[in-house]
Structures are given as C-alpha cells and as structure tokens.
C-alpha cells in the first residue's frame, strides 16, 4: 500500500467541527467518514437511518449533517426539516438531481454522488462556516 503525502494544513482544515454522517450505503458512509476524519473532523455515526440519526441528535449538536436523501427507500425530508428548524446545517448527498428536493429544501447544499473527497471537505468547511 502506497501512502500519499498530504500537506499538513489540509489534515486539519476541519479541526473542531463535528459531522453527523447519515448514509445507508456502507462504503459511501465509510469513505465519507474516513475522508472527513482525515481532515480533522469529529465524526458522529455513520448511521444508516433516520431513527438512529435522531437518537444521536438527542445527545449531540453536530456542526453539519451529511444527509443521504434516500435511505433504503425512506426519504429524509422530515428529518431535514427538523434539522433546519433547529438551525443545524446539512449537506445532502444524493444520486438524484437537486431539483428532486422539496422546494423548502432546495437552498441547501447538495453533493451529487459519486463525489470527490475535496468536494465533500469543501462543502463541510463552507457550510459550517456559514453558521
């Protein structure tokens, strides 16, 4: 296995941020969590469904939630509205086009799967900084 050198500033560009990863696809969840952790974020989860997300949210206040739109057939719009009402920033991750989101959620950032690590890190950094 070959290790790739990464400038040290990049390893800490998400330091101090906590990110809840809500994703039902194991490899996407694992890769996203690892990429964010490698950049200094504290990861909550990953969790594969809205019930477990709510359980974690009952005791944690993440800086950002990475939220897959479709969790094994369950759309996450109700959870997304709850997050918005509580002022918790979210980033949608989806294979769908952003126009698929309800009108009330279309202003939220949306990463199109498959996305690159730098896109994810940038979205978390920018979105968390908004609040």
Residue 102's CATH number = 3.40.50.2300
pLDDT tens for 16-54 read 999 999 999 999 999 999 999 999 999 999 999 999 999
24 is a domain residue: yes
In a domain, 1, yes or no: no
pTM of the entire predicted model: 0.89
d(CA 71, CA 24): 6
Cβ contact 109:122 at 8 Å: no
Domain that holds residue 70: 14-130
Report yes or no: 43 and 21 within 8 Å, Cβ to Cβ.
yes
Q: What is the pLDDT of residues 82-128, one digit of tens each?
A: 999 999 999 999 988 878 899 999 899 999 999 999 999 999 999 98
- How many domains, the chain? 1
């Amino acid at each position: 296995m070959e290790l790739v050198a990464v400038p040290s500033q990049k390893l800490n560009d998400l330091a101090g941020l906590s990110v809840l990863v809500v994703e039902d696809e194991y490899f996407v969840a694992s890769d996203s969590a690892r990429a964010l952790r490698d950049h200094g974020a504290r990861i909550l989860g990953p969790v594969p469904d809205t019930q477990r997300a709510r359980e974690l949210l009952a005791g944690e206040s993440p800086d950002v939630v990475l939220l897959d739109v479709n969790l094994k057939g369950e759309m996450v719009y109700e959870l997304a509205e709850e997050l918005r009402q509580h002022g918790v920033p979210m980033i949608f991750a989806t294979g769908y086009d952003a126009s698929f989101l309800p009108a009330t959620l279309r202003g939220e950032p949306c990463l199109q799967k498959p996305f690159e690590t730098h896109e994810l890190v940038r979205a978390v950094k920018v979105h968390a900084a908004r609040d």
